[in-house]
Amino acid sequence: MLSICVDLFHYTKIFMNRYHLLPALTSLFHVIFSSCSPVAIVLEHQPEFAEKYYENKIRSIGEIIKKEPENFDLLKEGVEGFTMYAFGFLMEKADRAIINNYSTGVRLQEMAHQYFVDAIDFGERGINLKYNDYQKWIAGEIGNIGLEPVNIDIALFYWTAAAYGGAVSSSQGDPEWVIKLPRVGLLLNEVMKKDSLWNNGAALVAMITYTMNNPEIAGESEKLARQYFDTAVNVSNGMDLGPYIAIAESVSKLNQNRNEFIQLLNQALDIDINSNPDLRLANIISRKRAEWLLANVDEFFY
């Protein structure tokens, strides 16, 4: 159980860990409170301050990594921080901007893409420090990487998968990145094999979106995505908005099932965001996303 007075950075890690990949929406802030003010106040009322603060924070991490390129802890912090910033601020803003100003949305995606590329570099350098055969494994040359069932290694694989997912999503269809989509699956499946319920089912939610974007299982993708959805809902006891938004954006929108899309988002909005303190910040951000999707539903269905 996390205290409401802890560093907000740790709260935002919970949120990003709970979210899906390719639709790319998260939010994160790194603020240390001098009193026990709810973190939700900063999220809801000072997002511009939070974004600038975090942007400066990750730039600092990047500069330190240049000086200590083989520092495992810094590389892990780098892949997390760069990925969260690109997803939580740049890609989220791109989603909104692209509806009314396509060029602005594309520019934001391009900015996010470079952060994702840097995050992949950090993540893979960190993995290489502990797993000598990683490059052969990620390239499909060997079938087993031997991921250790420890949280720090599982987290590194997860965040590297998230960075790859973001890079593919923000590449605007660049074949150089599209062909790397299977790497998202390799990394996520390794996490799932070691601990499918890790971090409250983070990989399960990510797999909803990955499955729907995997052409190799096109005939089974929706069935599998719905299975991941059901499991993710059960893991959170129905208290996490994330799976509902993931399935709505990945499946309902693709199928042009407007009624299901609206139903799922309304189910998400009916969840009591105060019922699970560990999910509260994540659910506040998810609720904002659900509200925005519902307000713009005509943009997604034809």
pLDDT number for residue 49: 67
| Section 218-243 average pLDDT | 92
The residue ranking higher by pLDDT, 57 or 70, is 70
pLDDT digits 0-9 by tens, 134-157:
999 999 888 889 888 888 899 999
Site of tokens 């409170």: 33
- Overall residue count recorded for the chain in this entry: 302
Site of tokens 């001098």: 34
pLDDT number for residue 29: 30
Does residue 25 contact residue 244 with C-beta atoms inside 8 Å? no
Cβ contacts of residue 298 below 8 Å, gap of 6+? none
Structure tokens that stand for 37 in this block: 């003010």
Q: Residue 113: pLDDT above 50? A: yes
| Section 79-105 average pLDDT | 90
**This prediction's pTM:** 0.83
Domains annotated for the chain, with CATH where assigned, are 8-221 (1.25.40.920)
Q: Judging by beta carbons within 10 Å of its beta carbon (0-12, 13-18, 19+), is residue 285 exposed, middle or buried? A: buried
Which segment of 72-81, 89-98, 108-117, 279-288 scores lowest on mean pLDDT? 279-288
What is the residue-wise DSSP string for the chain? ---TTS-HHHHHHHHHHHS-STT----------SS---HHHHHHH-HHHHHHHHHHHHHHHHHHHHHSTT-HHHHHHHHHHHHHHIIIIIIHHHHHHHHH-HHHHHHHHHHHHHHHHHHHHHHHHHHHHH-TTHHHHHTTSSS-----S-HHHHHHHHHHHHHHHHHHHHTTT-HHHHTTHHHHHHHHHHHHHHHTTHHHHHHHHHHHHHHHT-GGGTTTHHHHHHHHHHHHHHHTTT--SHHHHHHIIIIITTTT-HHHHHHHHHHHHHS-TTS-GGGHHHHHHHHHHHHHHHHTGGGT--
Residue 45's pLDDT band (cuts 50, 70, 90): low
| Section 100-128 average pLDDT | 96
CA–CA separation, 195 and 227 (whole Å): 17
Q: Where are the alpha helices (DSSP H) in 23-101?
A: 39-45, 47-67, 72-85, 92-100
Q: Residue 268: pLDDT above 70? A: yes
Residue 277's pLDDT band (cuts 50, 70, 90): confident
CA–CA separation, 62 and 291 (whole Å): 34
Helix (H, G, I), strand (E, B) or coil at 35: coil
